Amino acid sequence: MGASITENKVYSMGSQEVTVSDLEEQEKIGSLERVESAHSRVLDDLGRGEGVSFKDLPIIDVKPEDNRRVLRKLDNLLLPLTMIAYTLQYIDRSAMSYAAVFSFRTDLDLVGTQYSWLGSCFFLGYLFFEFPGSYILQRLPLSKIMGTSIVIWGGLLMCLAAPRSFGGAAAIRTLLGCSEALVTPGFVLLISRFYKREEQPLRVGLWYCCNGLGSFIGALVSFGMGHIHVDNVPNWAWIFIFNGGITVIFGTLFLFLCPENPQTCKVLNAHEKRVALERVRTNRSSLGSKIIKWYQVKEALCPWICPQGWSYFFIVMSLSLPNGGIGNFLHLILQSYGYTSFQTILMGLPQAAMQVVFPLSGAIIARKVPNARLYVLMAYMLPSLVGVIIQYKTRNSGALLFGYYILG
């Protein structure tokens, strides 16, 4: 009885009497209010486009059911947006290779290496704008820049139906490369704002599966556009017009639907926004920061500090070198096996399936096996290497076709 009286000892506070239990309850309420106030300030800063550090954010307990609900909502919004954008990017980037199996080269009077240079112009623009574009993505609202980029590249693709000379097509292809240079770094930055580090490989793998999906859809669209016959408008021009128009429409929707950060994510309520912030705390990075930290630049550029980063660099570069050259000639290579224009497009569909299966399986392995991303990337280079060797060493039509499929 005495213990009970001690625990509920009565204190006099002015004209009121309160117990120890009352004081403890008020302290809990005050602590909760301080946490909510701190979260509100951080969310307000994010809403104004200001970067925040997680050291300013009190830690909250996230229930498993809250985590699953927030993750599901983010996936339902962000994955369709990023996957559709990646699909359209691949379709638009490879549209010229589909046009080439029709009368594109003859209508533009391309001679010698001019078609090859048209392919290179895209990557020259891409290379030129990669670093300025990454700086812009950090300094300006990410979602708005990405949406604007999508609209611009869709419009440029439509313009590619107009020129009838090498010079005009080269200028448009260069600008197209500049506009598409923002896609991959922009989406990597976007995903890092909403997903935990261990959740990111699978989502990135799903984007790369969309290269195959884009190849599949692009082939079917080109097959259909190739049957359009309108006076003064060649059938290959409709490939650019149709694909570019779809991209412009999607880019406009992207501008309105894509959130900048958890605070501006309309599918989350106030509590879920706090949960979304707490989820990415383990990434150990600030959120929405617009400041370049030079010690991080030094870490990225010094091979003795970040050898893994340089390993990724050389692997991706070795993959991109043949991809840049072969990509624009893939359908011409297939056509050289003796197929007609329409047969060439349809015979490329199995390669599109390969481009879906391999990235998805690689992403799943990288997610399941700790610290295996670099090894998975190296192993998945081997089929493409075998495909190139087959193209070089044999003239058997069946072997050539098999090599063509695994080349992708």
pLDDT in tens, 183-198: 888 998 898 889 988 8
For residue 31, name the pLDDT band (cuts at 50, 70, 90): very low
Question: Which of 48, 67, 86 is the last residue before a domain boundary?
Answer: 48
Residues 81 and 205 in one domain: yes
Among 127-141, 168-182, 238-252, 382-396, where is mean pLDDT lowest?
382-396
- Choose from 33-47, 56-70, 119-133, 383-397 the range with maximum mean pLDDT: 119-133
Tally of domains in the chain:
2
Arithmetic mean of pLDDT, 39-52:
53
Q: What is the gyration radius of the CA atoms in the chain, in angstroms?
A: 27
pLDDT, one tens digit per residue, over 163-176 is 999 999 999 999 99
Which one has a higher pLDDT value, 336 or 50? 336
Q: Is 0.85 topped by the overall pTM?
A: no
Residues 12 and 141 in one domain: no
Q: List 17's β-bridge partners, or say none.
A: 12
Which domain range does residue 118 map to? 49-407
Taken as a whole, the chain contains a residue count of 408
Which one has a higher pLDDT value, 291 or 201? 201
For the chain, give the longest Cα–Cα distance.
102
pLDDT, one tens digit per residue, over 90-146 is 899 889 989 998 999 999 999 988 998 998 899 899 989 988 988 888 888 889 999
Residues 36 and 59 in one domain: no
Residues 96 and 13 in one domain: no
Residues 341 and 269 in one domain: yes
Residues 146 and 22 in one domain: no
Provide the CB-side half-sphere exposure for 187 (13 A, CA). 25
Residues 209 and 352 in one domain: yes
Look at residue 403 in the predicted model and tell me its pLDDT. 82
Residues 12 and 145 in one domain: no
Among 28-37, 111-120, 265-274, where is mean pLDDT lowest?
28-37
Residues 214 and 265 in one domain: yes
Query: 139 and 290 in contact (C-beta within 8 Å)?
Result: yes
Residues 29 and 169 in one domain: no
Q: What's the start-to-end Cα distance of the chain, in Å?
A: 80
Determine the Cα–Cα distance for residues 88 and 91; give it in Å rounded to an integer. 5
Which residue type is seen at 216?
F
Count Cβ neighbours within 10 Å for each residue of 303-336 and write b for 16 or more, e otherwise: eeebeeeeeeeeeeeeeeeebeebbbbbbebbbe
Residues 133 and 37 in one domain: no
Residues 39 and 125 in one domain: no
CATH number, residue 213: 1.20.1250.20
Question: Which of 12, 31, 48 is the last residue before a domain boundary?
Answer: 48
For residue 285, name the pLDDT band (cuts at 50, 70, 90): low
